[in-house]
Amino acid sequence: MNIILFGPPGAGKGTQAEFLVQSRGMVQLSTGDMLRAAIAAGTELGLQAKEIMDAGKLVSDDIMIGMIAERMEADDCRNGVILDGFPRTVAQAQALDAMFGDKQISLDSVIEIRVDENALFARIEKRAAETGGARSDDNAEVLAARLKVYHDNTAPVLPYYEDKGQLVTIDGMQSVEEVNKQIEACLNSVA
Ligand code: AMP
């Protein structure tokens, strides 16, 4: 099974993806984690990406599509993937469709975790405190920029999947356990 977890920064995509990794043995493909790994490794891509990420902007579609295409080649992706943080633009969604079509991979569900945006500032502050500020983009100023990008570039991906009948929306203001339960129920219904 291959799914997309969709939602603004701080919606809980990463947390929910980890639950699914445990319960279903799926592989979590977080493009944000991949970029942070590139930064930590000091690669050319990492150097370019850091500035963009610290400004709360998006890394180019070409780079991101290439990154996911390469990662999807690995054997561990055959058991199913959870895309976390990708696609973030309609162009990325179209490229993903083409890629899955070529590989004859099905996209089983797109799960939107919908949250009240006023709550996101508190959540991101909490994450920054819990991780000792590990993410340089976890602060109110950059979050405001990330939310603007979410509205301008990423939210238009929702109608793209809605039109295809693939979108399921879950209330992300519930407890993490309840959100997990509803995601599991949704995946059980498409399995
Ligand atoms: P995340 O960990 O998903 O919140 O991503 C952190 C940052 O990485 C984002 O604010 C973007 O700068 C960059 N990024 C992650 N995924 C993508 C993507 N699919 N397209 C463009 N930029 C991305």
Rounded to 5 degrees, φ, ψ at 167 are: -95, 130
The residue length of the chain stands at: 191
**pLDDT for the residue numbered 165:** 94
pTM: 0.96
Q: How far is Cα 90 from Cα 78, in angstroms, rounded to an integer?
A: 25
Ligand 1 neighbour 59 (Cβ under 6 A) = yes
**pLDDT for the residue numbered 178:** 98
What CATH homologous superfamily does 3-190 map to? P-loop containing nucleotide triphosphate hydrolases (3.40.50.300)
Taking each helix axis from N to C end, the angle separating 117-130 and 140-149, rounded to the nearest 10 degrees, works out to: 130
Testing ligand 1's pocket by substitution, the residue of 35, 47, 68, 113 carrying the most ligand atoms inside 8 A of its CB is 35
> What sign for the dihedral angle of Cα 60, 62, 63, 68?
positive
- Residue 173, exposed/middle/buried by CB under 10 A (0-12, 13-18, 19+)? middle
Ligand 1 neighbour 86 (Cβ under 6 A) = yes
Per-residue pLDDT of the chain (191 residues; tens, 9 = 90+): 999 999 999 999 999 999 999 999 999 999 999 999 999 999 999 999 999 999 999 999 999 999 999 999 999 999 899 999 999 999 999 999 999 999 999 999 999 999 999 999 999 999 999 999 999 999 999 999 999 999 999 999 999 999 999 999 999 999 999 999 999 999 999 87
Atom index in ligand 1 nearest the CA of residue 55 equals 12
